[in-house]
Chain A
């Protein structure tokens, strides 16, 4: 009897583990077809000015509006889900979300693991430092003796960490998100945070930001990067449709108007 129960238990465990694994790697995954009436779940994080909540608690933002108009014009209903940015690839492949559309900077890792859209915005990595350190950190070279905070797996980590895992700074603190990296600087537990330009500006100058008097954004001379939408590898048709739609919205000036509304007109691809 006892043996029987054990066998059943083991079987049940193997089944659940197998099922979750299968979901994770996407065996037998049916790609999304454009035109079918289905819900698309968009993975986002709260990230001003791409996706954030206005004073009434409604989601707004450049990416929010752009993704909504693109996906709805393709005939989908859209739902937004806040995800853990560390595990975005896993979350996408586990089909908890269908696209990642949240100011995502293209990196080699992402190119390997995801299908990416054409770049739709240009981004730059900026430093956030204490106001008193403004003169101290001016370029990548000056970070050599600094404790630098970045978001795990972000483009900034790619700038600070080499292939052989050596770092271009004294210590590299890999935070779970960009806001935590900036908080490290405010708390004095790191010297410099390297984050997206948009976030650096909004956190150091934003009216409601707790850091607006203490922290400043500095240009460390890092090269520009590009934002893209992330899809599952098999969703080629879906990706092409989104690319075409964004191109059309660029052509008729919708994207430019949207960028102006959110104060990022300087980041348009064709500008």
Chain B
């Protein structure tokens, strides 16, 4: 029993990890693009992006998953995305918006003087950003990013609303629905271990980057 449950939960956890990884890989760069957009001096660009960020951050991720998966069929009678793709699309958009705010806070926390110093040295705008600003931004945003990424691990469980077979879906529909409760606690252990590893990783990264500390 224990073995078959472990194998079954591991299969579910594979899907959990896949949602997590794909979302992370796509949302990290997209978030940076959105951050540039929302801080752009062109209002035609920054205002619509701010509205989108407001909508995405202002509605539950669960609702966004439901809408992206069911709306094409329910409202327009067309075939929509597959379950997994729908989840990934919803997650990438949602997390890119949250990441964009973290990037923005990081970019804006770098003092003006750093830009001016670059200009004094005759550096171009582009190279000031990549060689002077970005590194400080990365150091600055690592803790809030770690926080958000840990939240992402647990948010993957929302995929169960459209029946993507992630670990919590497996635990619920294969065991809890039959009155077998302990796999639910076991599922918690999978999340704990995964988040534990991420915590260690982020701790290590922060330590690596604390080069100004004496």
Contacts and interface: CB of A to CB of B under 8 A. Distances in A.
Are A and B associated in one complex? yes
Interface string B153-190: 00000001101000000001100111101000000000
Contact residues on A (Cβ < 8 Å of other chain), bracket:
20 to 34
A24 B177 contact: no
Interface string A123-165: 0000000000000000000000000000011000000000000
Contacts of A167: none
Interface string A172-188: 01111000000100111
A86 interface: yes
B72 to A, nearest CB: 8
Given A86-B172, A174-B163, A188 B177 contact: no
A90 interface: yes
Contact of A187 (B74, B160, B176): B74
Contacts of A176: 160-161
A87 B178 CA distance: 9
Contact of B179 (A113, A173, A174, A188): A113
B132 to A, nearest CB: 41
A266 to B, nearest CB: 29
Interface in A108-122: 109, 112-114
A102 to B, nearest CB: 15
B84 interface: no
A189 B179 contact: no
B169 to A, nearest CB: 8
Contact of B173 (A24, A113, A174, A186): A174
B80 interface: yes
B9 to A, nearest CB: 14
A188 B176 contact: no
A153 B178 contact: yes
Nearest to B177: A153
Interface string A72-99: 0000000000000011011000000000
Contacts of A186: 73-74
Contact of B70 (A87, A89, A112, A187): A187
B103 interface: no
A152 B177 contact: yes
B13 interface: no
A43 to B, nearest CB: 14
Given A175-B163, A188-B79, A189-B80, A109 B178 contact: yes
A128 to B, nearest CB: 15
A176 B168 CA distance: 12
Given A86-B173, A152-B172, A175-B163, A112 B74 contact: no
A4 B181 CA distance: 33
Contacts of A174: 163, 173
Interface in A192-237: none
B74 A183 contact: yes
A171 to B, nearest CB: 10
B77 interface: yes
Given A174-B163, A187-B73, A189-B73, A90 B173 contact: no
Q: Which of A114, A175, A188, A189 has the most CB of B within 10 A?
A: A189
Contact of A90 (B69, B72, B83, B181): B181
A174 B178 CA distance: 13
Nearest to B69: A189
Q: Which of B72, B73, B160, B179 has the most CB of A within 10 A?
A: B179
29 contacts: A86-B172, A86-B173, A86-B176, A87-B176, A87-B177, A90-B179, A90-B181, A109-B178, A113-B179, A114-B179, A152-B172, A152-B173, A152-B177, A153-B173, A153-B178, A174-B163, A176-B160, A186-B73, A186-B74, A187-B69, A187-B70, A187-B73, A187-B80, A188-B79, A188-B80, A189-B69, A189-B70, A189-B73, A189-B83
Interface of A: 24, 86-87, 89-90, 109, 112-114, 152-153, 173-176, 183, 186-189
Identify the 10 closest CB pairs spanning chains A and B, nearest first: A153-B177, A187-B73, A113-B179, A188-B73, A89-B179, A152-B173, A187-B70, A187-B74, A174-B173, A152-B177
Given A112-B179, A188-B80, A189-B80, 14 more contacts: A89-B179, A90-B181, A152-B172, A152-B173, A153-B178, A173-B163, A174-B163, A176-B160, A183-B70, A186-B74, A187-B69, A187-B70, A187-B73, A188-B79
Interface of B: 69-70, 72-74, 77, 79-80, 83, 160-161, 163, 172-173, 176-179, 181
